[in-house]
Amino acid sequence: MIKTEKETAGQNLPYIAGITLIATLGGLLFGYDTAVISGAEKSVQAYLITGQGLSTWVHGVTISSALIGCILGGAISGVFSSRLGRKNTLIIAAILFLLSALGSGYPEFLFFNEGEPTMGLLYMFNFYRIIGGIGVGLASAVCPVYIGEIAPANLRGRLVSLNQFAIIFGMLVVYFVNWGIAKGQTTEWLNEVGWRWMFLSEAIPAGLFGLLLFFVPESPRYLSMVNRDDEALKILTKVNGAVNARKIFDDIKNTVEHHSGNLWSYGKMVIIIGILLSVFQQFVGINVALYYAPRIFESMGAGKDASMLQTVVMGVVNVLFTVLAIVTVDKWGRKPLLMVGSVGMAIGMFAISAFAYYEIIGISTLVFIIVYTASFMMSWGPICWVLIAEIFPNKIRGKAVAVAVAAQWAANYFISATYPSMMEFSGAFTYGFYGVMSVLSFLFVWKMVPETKGRSLEDMEALWEKEPQSRSKGKVTV
């Protein structure tokens, strides 16, 4: 569906951009919080785990503990965003980010002595990481939904993709921060002090996010669902202009009133597709590359400083290819980008698997890691979030996104926590598994995922109300 000049007239682009930039700080914190562990994980292992003689499994669980919170945050995001609103839920997420940054950096606060690692301190560290994970879970679900519900249809793909750009930019920022903290320092200093500064640095963007959220409006679609129609129409008018705002408002009210809001009221297929989008985004193994990047590069023969720098290089590549997705998502569509990305990821992972099998370590491995991550960042990274934000009809969006995001973080936790043990078994098998998942993700998109380019959020109701026979076959006519 191509928007005419009349339909796009009156759009307040500076206002839309300002709201989007503030909302995407939630994405930046999402990326910052999940990637900060990449620079700190070896020091955390040395300080909290190795000294107590704990196992590799405990190490994997500790490094991935924030993901437990992400699952919880994703699961409760629907309740919070439906009852408290999108904006208030993001404010809660900002508070949790701040508490996690302070607590993870100094888990000894009140109850423990610095320099004396104990099981209790390990539990407290994991508690603070889980608190931050809940913030990530809330932000990961609500930020793209909020942006999608504010944005005009002709800009929605690009604006929601900006949230993924912010996630990757947050990762890049923390890669630089971690590198700057580690550069020139001894391993002993990093194991005692440096890792604390890595976590504490997150307090700055978390505080800024919480403050700026007081200056953005609530989502007009949420306001309409809670019968605050005058406020909803006022925001729609400011975003889209008076003429188009009334039409959009009428469409919103029609979809809100037409269905009860039961999660299954549009059939099972839309929920299944949302869950599988989330699961495949994680089962292709991207967060293994992000969380364990310095360790992977060190295993390839890079020193400590060099491995951090190579992580920065990977972060720059990730940002560049996310920009490619932002530029093309509303031109090429969602499905083509996802399918091309799946092919690139499969090539990258199968090559890395072969190198691991033949014990080939060198620049070629780095090249295919970049091929893999670049393919993800121009496709599954941003586009998965775009689709999750837009495929669900208005009345069930909060609940359905919560289910999809909870599934995503559960898959993320499984993949991240099992990585060390899988690598102990076989590196070739591990990376080959992620390659197989990339192939399956291609087949899934080809057969089951509808194209949503140019459709309004209200069009999703008509899309999923096609005859049950079409849904039961897993195919949607677009």
> Two tokens at 103?
């607590």
- How is residue 455 annotated by DSSP? -
* C-alpha atoms less than 13 angstroms from C-alpha of 10 in its C-beta half-sphere: 15
pLDDT, tens digit, 9 for 90 and up, residues 331-378: 888 899 999 999 999 999 999 889 888 877 667 777 888 889 889 988
DSSP per residue over 270-333, as a string?
HHHHHHHHHHHHHHT-HHHHHHTHHHHHHHTT--HHHHHHHHHHHHHHHHHHHHHHHHHHHHH-
The pLDDT > 70 percentage for the chain reads 87
Above 50 in pLDDT, residue 2? no
Q: Which residues 6+ apart lie within 8 Å of 57 measured at CB? A: 420, 421
Above 50 in pLDDT, residue 474? no
How large is the average pLDDT for residues 224-234? Answer: 88
pLDDT, tens digit, 9 for 90 and up, residues 267-301: 788 899 999 999 999 999 887 766 555 556 666 55
pLDDT at 291: 55
Of the two residues 304 and 33, the one the predictor is more confident about is 33
Above 50 in pLDDT, residue 478? no
Provide the terminal-to-terminal Cα distance of the chain, rounded to the nearest Å. Answer: 11
pLDDT, tens digit, 9 for 90 and up, residues 107-139: 988 887 777 778 888 899 999 999 999 999 999
pLDDT, tens digit, 9 for 90 and up, residues 200-214: 999 999 999 999 999
pLDDT at 124: 93
pLDDT at 204: 94
Residue 313: pLDDT band by 50, 70, 90 thresholds? Answer: confident
H or E stretch including 63? helix 56-63
pLDDT at 470: 45
In three-state form (DSSP H/G/I as H, E/B as E, the rest C), the secondary structure along 328-385 is: HHHHHCHHHHHHHHHHHHHHHHHHHHHHHHCCCCCHHHHHHHHHHHHHHHCCHHHHHH
Of the two residues 198 and 253, the one the predictor is more confident about is 198
Mean pLDDT of the chain: 83
Count the Cβ atoms, other than its own, within 10 Å of residue 406. Answer: 23
**Which is nearest to 451 in space by CA: 424, 471, 420, 475?**
475
Residue 245: pLDDT band by 50, 70, 90 thresholds? Answer: confident
**Which is nearest to 24 in space by CA: 168, 202, 154?**
168
Residue 33: pLDDT band by 50, 70, 90 thresholds? Answer: confident
Can you list the domains of the chain with their CATH numbers? 12-216+259-472 (1.20.1250.20)
pLDDT at 246: 85
pLDDT at 472: 42
Of the two residues 322 and 1, the one the predictor is more confident about is 322
Query: Please, are residues 369 and 292 in contact by the beta-carbon 8 Å criterion?
Result: no
Query: How deeply is 241 buried, as exposed, middle or buried, from its count of CB atoms within 10 A (0-12, 13-18, 19+)?
Result: middle
Local structure of 456: helix, strand or coil: coil
**Which is nearest to 167 in space by CA: 373, 281, 315, 335?**
315
Query: Please, are residues 355 and 364 in contact by the beta-carbon 8 Å criterion?
Result: yes
pLDDT at 354: 92
pLDDT at 112: 79
Above 60 in pLDDT, residue 473? no
Count the Cβ atoms, other than its own, within 10 Å of residue 25. Answer: 26
pLDDT at 258: 52
Of the two residues 171 and 269, the one the predictor is more confident about is 269
Query: How deeply is 118 buried, as exposed, middle or buried, from its count of CB atoms within 10 A (0-12, 13-18, 19+)?
Result: middle
Local structure of 56: helix, strand or coil: helix
Residue 20: pLDDT band by 50, 70, 90 thresholds? Answer: very high
Residue type (1 letter), 326: I
